[in-house]
Amino acid sequence: MIYLDNAATTNYKPQKVIDAVVSCLTKFPFNPNRGNNPQTMQLQQKLLETRKKLYLLYNGESAMHIAFTGGCTQALNLAILGNARRGNVIVSSLEHNSVLRPVMQLQKRGYVTVSVAHPDENGQVTLQEIQKLWQKDTFLVCLTHASNVTGARQNLTEIGGFVRRNNGIFLVDCAQSTGYFTLDMQKECVDLVAIGAHKGLHAMQGAGALIFNSRATPRPTVFGGTGTESNLCYQPATIPDGLESGTLPTPAIMAMNAGIDWWLENWKENDRTVQEMQTLLWHNLQQIPNVHLYSQQNKSGIVAFNVGDADSNFVADELARYDIAVRGGLQCAPLMHQHLCTFRQGVVRASVSCVTTRQECFALLNAVDNLSQKLARQ
C-alpha cells in the first residue's frame, strides 16, 4: 500500500519506538504511583523523564505542569472544560471537532457564548480578526497550530500577546504540528498546548498530554484513584496527580518518550523530506486538469484537493483501487469546510511523512490524472 494518510496517523513506527513499547510491556508491566518495588519506581522515573522532555520541547513552565491523557482529544477536553467559566470563547473555523464539540457543549448548556474567527486568503487567522471578535467577557481563545485539512500553519505570537495583555487564556491544538514543528510557550504567550503522540512523533495511539502554565491550570474533569493521597475522598489538588485519575497508558507514554528522542535526532532530515514531498504533490497536482487545490506549500505535509465536482469520498475510493490510502470527507472539521465552500463535497487529503518517496508521490499523481481524464469523458 502507498500510505498517504499520515495526518490521520503515521503508519511508520521507528525501531526505537517499538523497542520502548516492548520494554515497557515486558520489563515494566506495573502501575505507576501504586507500588514500592524497584521496577515501579523506575517506571515512575520514566514518566517524569517524559514530562521533562515535553517541558523542554515546548518551553513550558515546569515538568509538573504536564498532564498525561489518552490522546489529544482528551487533552483538549481537559483544557477547555477544566478552564470553563461563564463568558465568551473564541474559536477559529479551522478547528477540529475535538475543540468545537466541547466548546459547543458549553454553549448548549448556556454556559458560554462562542465567536468564530475566520482565516484570510492565506489560511491565517490574523490578530485583527481576534481583536474584532474580542468581548469584555472573552476568557479563552482556541487556535490550531496547523490545520488538519489544509496544513496551514498559524502565527501565534501576536495573538498570544494580545490574549495575555487582556487577561485571557490561549489554547493551541498541536495535534497536527507535533513532530513536524514546535512552539515556545513562553515567547509566544501560549497557556495551554494539547498534543498527541501517534502522528508526527510516530509513536502509538492512546497517549497525549496537556502542557499548561499556572495561569491556566485546569480543574479535573475525571475523578477517581490517583495512587496518591488515598486518604482523601475528594480529588487531590496536587498536580499533575489530580488530573490523571485512573491507570495511565504507560506503554503508549513510553512510545511517546522514544518518539520525542527519535524526532530530535532526525528532525532536519524528516523536515526536508516532508517539505520536498509536499511540494512535489502541491506543484504537480496543479498541472492536472480539473484539479482544485486548497493547500499552499507547508511543513505539515498536507495537500488538500478535489477532482472536478466529484465527491471526495468517491475519489478516495477510486484511489484505493490503486492501493493508495488518502482521506476524503470533512476530516472532522465542519467549519473549515463551510469556509472553503466544500461542505457538501469535502476534500481529498493526501498527507506525506518522513518515509514517503518520490515514487509514491508520482503514483498518486498518475492515479489522479487518470481519474481526472476518466471523469472528463463521462
According to DSSP, residue 153 is labeled B
**CATH number reported for the structural domain that contains residue 92 in this entry:** 3.40.640.10
**Helix or strand or coil: residue 10?**
coil
What domain range is 276 assigned to? 2-9+267-377
Answer whether 204's CB lies under 8 Å from 255's CB.
Answer: yes
Calpha distance 197→237 (Å, rounded): 27
289 shares a domain with 242: no
Structural domain ending residue among the three candidates 261, 276, 291 = 261
Pairing of strands 2-3, 324-325: parallel
Query: For 290, left (φ over 0), alpha (ψ -120 to 50), or beta?
Result: left
Q: Which of 350, 260, 334 is nearest to 104 (CA)?
A: 334
pLDDT tens digit sequence for 265-289: 999 999 999 999 999 999 999 999 9
| H-run or E-run covering 120 | none
Amino acid at 350: A
315 shares a domain with 240: no
Answer whether 206's CB lies under 8 Å from 71's CB.
Answer: yes
B/e letters for 110-146, b = 16+ CB within 10 Å, e = fewer, are eebeebbbebeeebebbbebbeebbeeebbbbbbbbb
**CATH number reported for the structural domain that contains residue 287 in this entry:** 3.90.1150.10
- Please state whether the predicted TM-score (pTM) of the whole model is above 0.75: yes
Residue-level pLDDT at 326: 98
Among positive and negative, which fits the CA dihedral 224, 228, 230, 233? negative
Answer whether 332's CB lies under 8 Å from 99's CB.
Answer: no
**Helix or strand or coil: residue 197?**
coil
pLDDT tens digit sequence for 318-369: 999 999 999 999 999 999 999 999 999 999 999 999 999 999 999 999 999 9
Structural domain ending residue among the three candidates 222, 244, 261 = 261
Answer whether 164's CB lies under 8 Å from 189's CB.
Answer: yes
Residue-level pLDDT at 366: 98
236 shares a domain with 307: no
Residue-level pLDDT at 96: 98
Calpha distance 260→258 (Å, rounded): 5
- Which phi and psi angles does 94 have, rounded to 5°? -80, -10
C-alpha cell at 242: 489530580
320 shares a domain with 171: no
105 shares a domain with 184: yes
Total domains, the chain: 2
Residue-level pLDDT at 88: 98
Q: Which of 316, 313, 283 is nearest to 298 (CA)?
A: 283
| H-run or E-run covering 158 | helix 157-165
Omega cis (within 30) before 240 = yes
Q: How far is CA 194 from CA 210, 218, 276, 290, in A?
A: 5, 12, 27, 38
Pairing of strands 348-351, 302-307: antiparallel
Structural domain ending residue among the three candidates 261, 290, 309 = 261
* Segments of the chain scoring below 70 in pLDDT: none
Pairing of strands 192-196, 169-173: parallel
Among positive and negative, which fits the CA dihedral 198, 194, 304, 358? negative
